[in-house]
Structures are given as structure tokens and as C-alpha cells.
Structure 1
Amino acid sequence: MIVNQEMIELLDEAEQLTDMILQSEAYNAYKEAHYHLIHDQEAQELIQAFVHIKATYEEVQRFGRYHPDYNQIMREVRAKKRQMDLNEKVASFKVAERELQRLLDDISELIAHSVSEHILVPKDGIIDGACGCGSGGSCGCQAS
């Protein structure tokens, strides 16, 4: 690869962008929420309980409704998930995580569209302009 002045300038701008992201309110809120989450004993116990029941759930899913404990496990998974999601530290972390993801999505969109308006950009877990259903638009979505 040939390194020229344009490449060096691009790398410098990428480093500046990284620094701006790391100094953003969204990133700082995420870091703080993550710190509080991993240092909160109750939140960690709820997460571990959910991870444990989720492993059982995945085993039950292999057999689906035919598994004898299907209904019980489904209720337990929903209950553990609800308990975990209602914890203040978990909820704060999820909000901060979504805000940081939104910032990164917006930056990705700006960069992609500065190259071409036709570049599909992931946003909120899906590619903007594509439904992801694999039907080629026959579902009525606006796949392009």
C-alpha cells in the first residue's frame, strides 16, 4: 500500500473523529452506566439468573412445545427478563447503550452518504432501505 499525503490526512481525521466520540456525552454516559452496572451486586445476580435460565430455554427450544417443561421455562424466562430489565442499573445501561448506538449510527450515515447516497447504512440494527425479510420487497416493504 502506498502511503501518500491524502492517506495521512484521512487517518488524522479518523483519529480526530475517534477522539470526539470518546469525549461525547453519549460515550461518557455509557461508560458511567457500564461501571455502575458491573459494580452493582443485585444487577449482576439478576443477569446471572437470566443467563442461567436462558441456557435452559435454549435446550427446551430444541424440542419446542413438545418439551415437557416448555410452558414453565417460557414463564420463567419472561419473569427473569422482566426482573432484570426493571433493575435501575440495567435500565440505565440499556438507555445509555441505545444513545451511544444512535450516535454511532448517525456518524456512519454521514460518512456513508458523503461517498454516495445509495450506500445502505445500518440503523437501529437494520439496514436503512432494506427490510431484511428476504422477500425482495414482495412483503410490501420498501426494499431497494
Structure 2
Amino acid sequence: MVTTMTDVNILQESHDFSEIILSSDVFINYIEIKKQVQQNSEAQSMLRHFSGLKEQYEEVQRFGKYHPDFRKITSEVREYKRKVDTHPLIAEYKASEKELESMLNEVSAIIAHSVSTEIKVPTGNPFFDQSSGCAGGCGSGGSCGCG
């Protein structure tokens, strides 16, 4: 493989750009909150319990409404998920995760469209998917609205 100065420059700029993202307030906030969640015994206990419930739920889903515990497990999972989602630290973590995802989606779209406006960037976010001319239909099984 032949490496040119252009390749080296692109790699260096990619590295520099990743350093900018890693030093951003959004990323630093995400990492700090993630550590807090990992160190919080109450949050970890809730997440472990929810993980166990999810395993039961997946087992029940194999048989659907014909499983004898379908309603009980489904209801229990929904109620406990609400409890987990409203835990202050977990809610803050999810918000920071969403903010980081949004930033990375925006960066991906900017990079892709700087190469070509024809590049479709599936972000899972209707705001970005609409602005890129694709409403999530191409790879999501829906009807394609791309131009």
C-alpha cells in the first residue's frame, strides 16, 4: 500500500478533529455523568434489576399473549422502566447521552455533505433525516422519500 502526503494529512486532521470532540463540553459532561451512574449503588441496583426484568420480558415475548405471565411481566417491565427513567441521575445521563448523539449526528451530516449532498446520513433523528432529503425510508424498511 502506498501512502501519500494527502493520506497522512487526512489522518492527522481526523485525529485533530476527534480530539476536538473528546475535549468538548458535551462529551466531558457525558463521561462525568456516566461515571456518576456507574458509582451510584442505587442506580446500579435499579439497572441490574431492570436487566433481569428485560430477560423475563424477552422470554415472554417469544410466546406473546399466550404466555401465562404475559400481562404480569409486560406491566412490571413498563412500570419499572418508568421508575428507572425518572431516577434523577439516570435521567440526567440519558439527557447527556441524547445531547452527545445529537452532536455526533450533526457532525456526521456535515462531513458527509461536505463530500457530496447525495450522501444519505441515517441518523434516526427525523430533523436531520428530513434536512438531508431522506425521511429514514431507505434503510429502515419504510418507503423511501429520498430525492
Q: Give the TM-score normalised by the residue count of structure 1.
A: 0.90
| In 2, Cα distance between equivalents of 1:14 and 1:89 | 33
Q: Which residue of 2 aligns with 1:86?
A: 86
Q: Which residue of 2 aligns with 1:68?
A: 68
Q: Which residue of 1 aligns with 2:25?
A: 25
Q: Give the TM-score normalised by the residue count of structure 2.
A: 0.89
In structure 2, the CA distance between the partners of 1:117 and 1:143, relative to structure 1 (3 Å rule), is: closer
Q: Does 1:2 align with 2:2?
A: yes
| In 2, Cα distance between equivalents of 1:133 and 1:19 | 32
Deviations 1:37-93 (A, max 9, x none): 000111111101110011000000011000111000011000110111011111111
Higher relative contact order (CA 8 A, sep 6+): 1
| In 2, Cα distance between equivalents of 1:34 and 1:45 | 15
CA shift, 1:133, in A, is 4.8
Q: Which residue of 2 aligns with 1:121?
A: 121
CA shift, 1:135, in A, is 4.5
Structure with more helix by fraction: 2
Q: Which residue of 2 aligns with 1:105?
A: 105
Q: Percent identity?
A: 36
CA shift, 1:123, in A, is 1.8
CA shift, 1:143, in A, is 4.1
Amino acid in structure 1 at the alignment position of 2:97: E
| In 1, Cα distance between equivalents of 2:122 and 2:25 | 22
- 3-state SS of the aligned residue for 2:141? coil
In structure 2, the CA distance between the partners of 1:133 and 1:11, relative to structure 1 (3 Å rule), is: closer
CA shift, 1:122, in A, is 2.4
Question: What RMSD in Å do the two structures reach over aligned CA positions?
Answer: 1.7
CA shift, 1:103, in A, is 1.0
- 3-state SS of the aligned residue for 1:124? coil
Number of equivalent positions: 140
Point out where structure 1 has 5 or more consecutive residues left out of the alignment.
Answer: none
Q: Which residue of 2 aligns with 1:136?
A: 143
- 3-state SS of the aligned residue for 1:104? helix
Point out where structure 2 has 5 or more consecutive residues left out of the alignment.
Answer: none
| In 2, Cα distance between equivalents of 1:16 and 1:87 | 37
